[in-house]
Amino acid sequence: MQVERDLLAKNDGFAAANRRRFGAAGTLALNLVSSPGSGKTTLLVRTLQALRARAPQWPVAVVEGDQQTSLDADRIRATGAPAVQINTGKGCHLDAHQVAHALEALPPLPSGVLFIENVGNLVCPAAFDLGEAAKVVVLSCTEGADKPLKYPGMFRASRLLLVTKADLLPYVPFSVDEALAHARRINPALEAIVLSTTSGAGFDHWLDWIARELESAAASRGAGHGGRASRVPAFVHEARGES
């Protein structure tokens, strides 16, 4: 237990430094977590493409975590977004120190977003703060609706649940209502969006959620710099019904 506490305390120190760095720049950092095969990389590719269309001036970057290969980072770079691949070898999660090193290889992201795609694992990443604004847990409808009960730590630590591959719902025995009920039994405050990366259904809700979180990050940056507001893409205000 002492070893575990020391390990997490060291990680928390690096996470706090990352969080200060993100806050000073108005960067929204999102930690995407899931079991393998949920569709995180495909989700990210479509997200980056959609954001480029809606707000091309908005800086984005990705930190990719996998045990081996640079296949996912290569897919991300093909969209035009900068990406850093972290190979963890036998490691089952990213830690805050690894993310801090990755940031040195990425351009600044003032009033932008950093997506961190964690290693596919619903256990270890739940315990490691990376300095992110929120963990986003991804659950595909090809998995069991009981996943939140089996892996409560991850769903308790997350702020948003994305139920992906919704285009397959007519063909798989998955109950969205059951999955959400289980998830909110663990975390009553958990937000949820059901979407399909293939068809695009529900995707605007995901982009609007990012927009609102970005506005919050930009406002925090403005407050920390004598009240100077950071420039926020127009679609952020459109998402809130403003002009």
Q: What is the per-residue pLDDT across 188-204, written as a single tens digit (0 to 9) for each?
A: 999 999 999 999 999 99
Q: How much is the pLDDT for 219?
A: 80
pLDDT of 86 reads 96
Domain ranges of the chain: 2-139+204-238
pLDDT at residue 151, as a whole number: 97
pLDDT of 222 reads 59
Mean pLDDT by 10 residues, the chain (243 residues): 68 96 95 95 96 89 94 95 94 94 94 96 95 98 96 98 97 97 98 97 96 87 49 42 41
CB 125 within 8 A of CB 93: yes
Are residues 7 and 96 in contact, defined by beta-carbon separation less than 8 angstroms?
no
Q: What pTM value is reported for the model?
A: 0.88
Residue 56: what pLDDT?
82
**Per-residue model confidence (pLDDT) at position 91:** 85
Q: Looking at domain 2-139+204-238, which CATH architecture does it have? A: 3-Layer(aba) Sandwich (3.40)
pLDDT at position 225: 45
> DSSP readout, the chain?
-HHHHHHHHHHHHHHHHHHHHHHHHT-EEEEEEESTTS-HHHHHHHHHHHHHHH-TTS-EEEEEEESS-SHHHHHHHTTT--EEEEE-TT--S--HHHHHHHHHTS---TT-EEEEE--S-SSGGGG---S-SEEEEEEETTS-TTHHHHSHHHHHH-SEEEEE-GGGGGGS---HHHHHHHHHHH-TT-EEEE--TTT-TTHHHHHHHHHHHHHHHHHHHHHTTTTPPPP--HHHHHHTT--
Q: What tokens appear for 233 in the block?
A: 């893409």
pLDDT digits (tens, 9 = 90+) for 128-152: 999 999 999 999 999 999 999 999 9
> How many angstroms separate the CA atoms of 142 and 173, rounded?
8
* CA 85/CA 66 separation, integer angstroms: 8
